[in-house]
Amino acid sequence: LHGRDSWDGAGATIVATTRYCAPGEDCPYENAFWNGEQLVFGEGYALADDVVAHEFSHAVTGHTSHLFYYMQSGAINEAFSDIWGEFVDLSNSYDGSGGPVRWLVGEDLSGGAMRSLSDPSAYQYYLPEVGVQAYADSMTHPGYYCGTSDNGGVHLNSGIAAKAAYLLSDGGTFNGYTVAPLGISATSALFYEAQTQLLTSGAGYADLSDALIQAANNLVLDGVLASADITQVQHAVAAVEMDEQPPACAVAEAPVCTTGLPLDAFSDDLEAVSYTHLTLPTK
């Protein structure tokens, strides 16, 4: 649809291992991941088209915006994978055991869906330090996570961008804003423009808000969107409060050393793509 040739845009061979089990760990392996070179699926995970597209999208992100898998940039990274997973799921004829369910992530897995783009807070995620917590669907949602587990909330905070994608695709009223539907084709063009042309590795949600609005303006010039569609994009990012600072967090979200020797909480030499997992919800 977007004229891209494989995950790197240059025709790379797509390699996948299915029914994977990690040496020395329980089998079957209940997860899936992109390891920087190939797709890897535990038994049954390759049966879910949104899961396959989720992991493939991590590979695309690693070769476009290079979003750090940490804090808000990591949450956007995860959101992109859920969003593209659902765009694929809703745009093909596959009907697995989960049935024709819209906007659920992993409904074809034996354990059922693990996240929702239309209602992120309806699902929960387990963190040892806080227990079970609902996914955030806006920056002021009480589920917005500010700690260091889950790589700084890359899963828990992914629902903010996911909710915006749902609103733009299907339309709806949320948080005082009404968004008219653009449909999947136009919405996917919008997110592809932002992901591949506008975002950089350290982008946060405020950057994504600006990028989506700029992408809409770009696509109007390209004849893909109408000028009125820009207003819908503005409404969608405003509905999830994408450009606001989450009140649950200090202004400096990433931990900062004030005394003593610095401790690196995260580093990336931009030479290797870190493992990115689908990650299970509540255990």
Q: Which positions are annotated as active-site residues? A: 55, 155
- Helix, strand or coil, per DSSP, at residue 185: helix
The answer to whether 236 and 169 have CB atoms below 8 angstroms apart is no
- Helix, strand or coil, per DSSP, at residue 173: strand
Beta bridge partners of 134: 124
- For 33, phi then psi, to 5°, come to -160, 160
d(CA 135, CA 158): 8
The DSSP string of 6-39 is STTSS-PPP-EE-S---TTS-SS---EEE-SS-E
The answer to whether 83 and 117 have CB atoms below 8 angstroms apart is yes
